[in-house]
Amino acid sequence: MSASEDAQFQTLLTHLENVVKDLEQIHSLKEMSEEAKIDVVGLVQATMAYADITSIAVPEAVIPDLAEPGDKPTSAELSQSGVVVFKQKGGETKASHFSEYKPAVVIKVLNILVPLLKDEIASRRKMHEKQLEALQSIKQSLSAVEKRHRPARQQARETRETQT
């Protein structure tokens, strides 16, 4: 082997070593991405459960990313249990678990779903705030009625008890 061929061979070996190192890193990163994806899907499920959201509609823009090749579902939703349910023409349904999709697909879907989920949670928070305000107003009104119509003797006794 000439000096030039030897240098080329050494360069080739260096490139191969780098390829092997990069492949090992890719493998490790893919495993870590898979674990992170499963964790994220679980946290989405927990968030939905905590907010009492049984399902959320999947926007049409990402349905093709989730559907089986050749399928053309009319709609899809992500359930609280992490299952993507596809509705087909004729009422037929198909389902798959959200954590079974590739990390890139999960990220793409979440980029669209999380803002919708945020809006739904904000809407529910406002609903609960209004319910609380209404109940507090009702309680205050009924308490006032109850105080006005309680016998005077009972009010005097309660006043004495609180003073002693």
- pLDDT (tens digit, 9 = 90+) per residue, 54-72? 999 999 999 999 998 888 8
- pLDDT (tens digit, 9 = 90+) per residue, 11-24? 999 999 999 999 99
- What is residue 132's predicted lDDT score, i.e. its pLDDT? 97
- pLDDT (tens digit, 9 = 90+) per residue, 78-101? 999 999 999 998 889 999 999 999
Identify the residue with better confidence: 160 or 85: 85
- What is residue 48's predicted lDDT score, i.e. its pLDDT? 96
User: Which range of residues forms the domain containing residue 57?
Assistant: 3-163
> According to the 3-state scheme, what is the secondary structure of 38-54?
HHHHHHHHHHHHHCCCC
The pTM of the full predicted model, rounded to 2 decimals, is: 0.76
- pLDDT (tens digit, 9 = 90+) per residue, 112-153? 999 999 999 999 999 999 999 999 999 999 988 877 777 665
Contact of 82 with 47, CB cutoff 8 Å: no
Total domains, the chain: 1
Spatial strand order in the sheet of 93-97 = 55-57, 75-79, 83-87, 93-97
